[in-house]
Amino acid sequence: MESTDIILDLFLVLIAAKVAGEAFERLRQPAVLGEIIAGIILGPFLLGLLTDTDVLGALAEVGVIFLLFTVGLHTRVSDMVRVGGSAVAVGILGALVPLALGWGIMAALGRATLESVFVGTAMMATSVGITARVLADLGVLNREASRVIIGAAVIDDIVGLTALAILSGIAAGRLSYLSIAITAVESVAFIAFAIFIARRAADRFSALTEKVWRRNPGFIGPILVCLGLSVLAEYIGLAAIIGAFLAGMVFAESDRRARLDRAIEPLYDLFVPFFFVMIGVRVAPGAVNASILVLALVITVAAILSKLFACRFAAWGLARREAWIVGVGMSPRGEVGLIVAAIGLTRGVIGHDLYAIVVLMSLLTTFFAPPVLRRLIRPRVPAAAEQVAAASEADEHAPPC
């Protein structure tokens, strides 16, 4: 009622996301790419109809929280334990090889050590959001490769965020081994708490909230757990999305999962597109020249190849196609790369040239993965079979009512 902006923005983002997403699906491309492109078109880069406001940023954050919560809901601890070895290997190798390669390339070009390490750090990250969305849209979140990717991406995030914390500490001139050790211990304790303790308490907690809150049984309680663990994750220095993901896992084996899944669906449909549209909106115009573009392409190719082969190799225990799916699925840097870039710029670790390079690398790796992933997971089939597949996929998404 106060300003027309927020409702108009909601309308624009939703209609653009849904139209572009649907168009991309019809072209057999992932809907998420359509949403990012819709953001680039509507944003300051082209039309200037949307800008990166606090409100849209907040809705994007709510979107990614619901996305990771949904991913967590489809991730059983028992399945994670089964792929645990592969996930740890993929996560660690998939973080260290890109770090080394990025650092090496920049050092070879004569850049300062701090800058070089920073570019390497940005290349460590994995945007689990992008890949998880593609996997969810294809209805294969329960596939072995999907579980390895998501488990590895969580480990990756922890390694990457720890590296970022260290770098920020160096940049700020303050750093103690003690504070690094504390962050690491807190992270492990938090994950262990969510997986081993919170999970056991989940059904009891749900039963309690259902008794206390007569309305919305089985919905508000889990949402509060999701937000609470997200806040806790940020508090101890992890990303909020890790908390949301673990909260989803807490309820993955609960009796209430089906009902919770159904309640989360409208929230997912409404808010997740904001996250992807805003990735597009944040692409700023200008500040890119030929030499930066060349270096960005080199770094992008290095980022893709290092992740692809390191992860494919680390996933040697899986079938061949699954191992390649893991390699491709781990390669998009997406919003994680963009966040690292923003932190580097604001803290003065990198200049505008390296910022543009890291941003371009994040976007290009993000555009590379989804179509390849889709082709690997669902090879081109005759039109009739595709329709059957689409129909059965629709069934998977229909509320089990």
Nearer to a copy of itself, 233 or 299 (CB): 233
Of the pair 131, 230, the CB lying nearest a copy of itself is at 230
User: Which range of residues in 72-80, 199-207, 298-306, 390-398 is near a copy of itself by CB under 8 A?
Assistant: 390-398
Q: What are phi and psi of 52, to 5 degrees?
A: -80, 75
3-state class (DSSP) for residue 52? coil
Residue 383 binding a copy of itself, by CB under 8 A = no
Contact string (CB under 8 A) for a copy of itself, positions 9-28, x = contact: -xx--xx--x---x--x---
Among 110, 176, 178, 214, binds a copy of itself (CB under 8 A): 214
User: Side chain identity at 294, as an amino acid letter?
Assistant: V
Site membership for a copy of itself, residue 392 (CB under 8 A):
no
Binding mask 125-164 for a copy of itself (x = CB under 8 A): ----------------------------------------
Please give the structure tokens belonging to residue 46: 């082209």
Are 176 and 141 spatial neighbours (Cβ–Cβ below 8 Å)? no
Q: Does 50 bind a copy of itself (CB under 8 A)?
A: no
Take residue 298 and report the two structure tokens written for it.
């080199």
What DSSP designation does 333 have? Answer: -
Can residue 7 be called a binding residue for a copy of itself (CB under 8 A)? yes
b (16+ CB within 10 A) / e for 34-73: bbbbbbbbbbbbeeeebeeeeebeebbbbbbbbbbbbbbb
Q: Is 177 exposed, middle or buried (CB count within 10 Å of its CB: 0-12, 13-18, 19+)?
A: exposed
Of 183, 187, 156, 152, nearest to 323 (Cα)?
152
Site string for a copy of itself, 321-340 (x = CB under 8 A): --------------x---x-
Kindly list the residues in this chain that would bind a copy of itself in the complex (CB under 8 A): 1-2, 4, 6-8, 10-11, 14-15, 18, 22, 25, 53-55, 57-59, 61-62, 64-65, 212-216, 219-220, 223-224, 227-228, 230-231, 234-235, 239-241, 263-267, 269-270, 335, 339, 342, 390, 394, 397, 401
